[in-house]
Every structure is written in structure tokens, then in C-alpha cells.
């Protein structure tokens, strides 16, 4: 049987990424020309061309400012999920602030989208050793799953000690809530990131394809892949006052991304997080 992998999109625009947070103040977001609607239309068309449903981890800010984007996601049969209100790292919040943020965003997305929001992804995979309370808060706020842990070594995020596959962070007895980490693959002496984003743009496509196939065949596990709307937009305004590493990570191979996604959607079977891992039908809120 072919394994279905989970296709996910973190819905935020180019000026909202954590890498620019010290250069672009959140209070100015309203004044920056937004390219999200057009890029989202291209993504929705691409997914429709491949008859694929995906999970969209969406900022509450996007729901407030572009409710039509939320409505399109839902009306085309995709899963709407939460990426927090305005992309603040979990590790920069107190547990009280975090609970308020995830509750507010879940309510807002449900109000506009009309479907139950089950999933959450932390801004920049910012959950780990420093935030031992985070999973508990997510369960309290009524989420069914989180896909926020990246079990890899990285200078800005990652929790290499975490499980590589779905686990129950509140204890094996509490299977109402699970963490579904971003995909990785162990090869001799190294753990490789399989999950997408900047790594996917940087690696040759053949390597990404091989890694996903290995996780499916060798480990009999679905992979979780993620990307952002701004990653298919090489025409986006360039940010000037950033360091070389940040510049490279944000802009590398943007012009190749759309075609690579097209191949990826053809080469594997994809579905929503809900369908692949939670396995329940979306229910419409009455």
C-alpha cells in the first residue's frame, strides 16, 4: 500500500517570518503591501491540479485581515489549522500568554472558516526544552494535535532529543492529544531534515525525493512536508538590512520552488494532517 504523506503550508507573508522580526516591526504589518492572496491562489490552483488536499497552518492576523483567504482554504476541502496570532515564538511567551494566543486564534479561525480547528504549529518550530508547558496548554485550548517539534540540530530551533515520529507528549495514557514532529531521516553519522522549507529549496530535488521515499519504505512512516506562500514568490520585495546567512536562507532558489512542488505533488501521495494522522472526518460546527 502506498503511504500517504502530509502536505502542510504555513500561511504567513514574506515580512512576517521570524528571520525578519528584528527588522520589520509587527505594528507596521498593516502598511506593507501584502502578496499573500495572489500566492495563496497559485498554491490552491497547484493543489487542485494534483487533486490534493493539504493542511494550512494559518496566522490569526491573516484571518483578521484576509478572511477571503480562510474561506477559500475551507471551501476547497483543505484543513484549516492554527499558526498562532502573529508569529511570536512560543519560547518568547509565558504559558499564560501562550494559552491566550492559541485560544484566540483557534476561535477566530473557526468563526471565519466554520470548521473545527484541530491542529497547531509553533512559529519557527519554537517548542522544545524551554517550553515544557506548551503541549499541556494546547490540549487545554482544545487542540487535538501539534506539529511543532523539529527533532534536529539547528541554530534557531530544534529538539534533537524528541521522538522522530508521532508521540503522546501528555503520556501514553492520554491519546487525545499528540505531537507530530517534522520529518527527519537518520543516515550514518547524521540526521537529515526531510520536512521542506529552506532545506528543500537548497537540496537537489533528487535528494529530497530519496529522503521521503526512505522514510516511507524503510521506516514505514508518513512524512510531514511544509512550505510557505512566499517561497513560490521570487518577485517579493527584498529585505536589505539582514545578515548574509539570513539572506541566503530566505532567498535561495525561490525561482525553482514552484516547479519542485509540482514534481513533489506528482511523485508522492499527499493528504491533510487530519487524514494522515488523526483519521477523523472534519466536522462542521453547528
> Which residues, 6+ apart, have CB-to-CB distance to 238 below 8 Å?
251
In three-state secondary structure terms, 58 is: strand
Binding window for Zn ion (CB under 5 A); candidates: 4-12, 28-36, 44-52, 94-102 = 4-12
Distance CA(157)–CA(151), nearest Å, equals 9
Distance CA(116)–CA(140), nearest Å, equals 15
Which residue has the closest beta carbon to Zn ion?
10
Q: How far is the CB of 10 from Zn ion (least distance, A)?
A: 4
Q: Report CA dihedral (48, 33, 19, 9) to the nearest 10 degrees.
A: -10
Residue closer to Zn ion (CB basis): 14 or 145: 14
Q: How far is the CB of 13 from Zn ion (least distance, A)?
A: 10
Instruction: Locate the DSSP E strands across 85-210.
Output: 119-120, 145-146, 178-179, 184-187, 190-193
Q: Check: CB of residue 192 under 8 Å from CB of residue 185.
A: yes
Q: How far is the CB of 230 from Zn ion (least distance, A)?
A: 10
Site string for Zn ion, 171-210 (x = CB under 5 A): ----------------------------------------
Distance CA(229)–CA(214), nearest Å, equals 27
DSSP, res 239? P
Nearest to 63 by CA among 115, 11, 98: 11
Q: How far is the CB of 250 from Zn ion (least distance, A)?
A: 12
DSSP, res 281? P
**Contact status: 10 vs Zn ion (CB under 5 A):** yes
Residue closer to Zn ion (CB basis): 47 or 62: 62
Residue closer to Zn ion (CB basis): 87 or 135: 87
Q: How far is the CB of 12 from Zn ion (least distance, A)?
A: 5
DSSP, res 128? S
Residue closer to Zn ion (CB basis): 143 or 216: 143
Residue closer to Zn ion (CB basis): 12 or 13: 12
Three cell numbers at 177?
A: 492529544
Residue closer to Zn ion (CB basis): 216 or 250: 250
Q: How far is the CB of 251 from Zn ion (least distance, A)?
A: 17
| Residues of this chain, 79-138, that bind Zn ion according to CB under 5 A | 123
Q: Which residues bind Zn ion (CB under 5 A)?
A: 10, 12, 123
Amino acid at each position: 500500500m502506498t503511504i500517504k504523506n502530509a502536505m502542510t503550508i504555513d500561511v504567513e507573508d514574506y515580512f512576517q517570518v521570524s528571520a525578519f522580526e528584528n527588522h520589520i516591526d509587527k505594528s507596521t504589518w498593516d502598511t506593507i503591501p501584502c502578496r499573500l492572496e495572489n500566492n495563496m491562489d497559485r498554491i490552491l490552483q497547484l493543489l487542485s491540479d494534483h487533486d490534493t488536499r493539504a493542511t494550512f497552518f494559518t496566522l490569526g492576523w491573516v484571518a483578521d485581515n484576509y478572511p477571503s483567504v480562510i474561506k477559500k482554504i475551507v471551501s476547497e476541502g483543505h484543513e484549516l489549522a492554527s499558526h498562532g496570532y502573529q508569529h511570536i515564538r512560543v519560547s518568547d511567551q509565558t504559558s499564560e500568554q501562550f494559552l491566550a494566543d492559541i485560544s484566540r486564534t483557534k476561535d477566530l479561525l473557526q468563526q471565519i472558516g466554520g470548521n473545527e480547528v484541530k491542529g497547531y504549529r509553533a512559529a519557527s518550530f519554537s517548542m522544545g526544552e524551554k517550553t515544557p508547558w506548551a503541549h499541556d496548554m494546547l490540549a487545554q485550548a482544545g487542540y487535538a494535535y501539534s506539529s511543532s517539534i523539529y527533532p534536529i540540530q539547528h541554530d534557531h530551533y530544534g529538539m534533537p532529543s524528541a521522538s522522530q515520529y508521532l508521540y503522546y507528549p501528555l503520556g501514553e495514557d492520554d491519546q487525545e492529544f499528540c505531537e507530530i514532529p517534522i520529518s527527519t531521516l537518520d543516515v550514518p553519522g547524521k540526521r537529515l531534515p526531510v520536512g521542506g522549507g529552506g532545506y528543500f529549496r537548497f537540496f537537489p530535488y533528487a535528494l529530497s525525493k530519496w529522503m521521503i521515499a526512505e522514510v516511507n519504505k524503510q521506516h514505514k512512516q508518513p512524512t510531514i512536508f511544509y512550505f510557505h506562500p512566499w517561497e513560490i514568490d521570487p518577485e517579493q520585495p527584498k529585505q536589505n538590512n539582514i545578515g548574509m546567512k539570513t539572506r541566503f536562507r530566505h532567498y535561495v532558489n525561490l525561482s525553482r520552488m514552484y516547479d519542485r512542488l509540482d514534481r513533489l505533488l506528482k511523485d508522492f501521495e499527499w493528504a491533510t494532517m487530519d487524514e494522515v494522522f488523526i483519521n477523523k472526518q472534519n466536522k462542521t460546527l453547528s
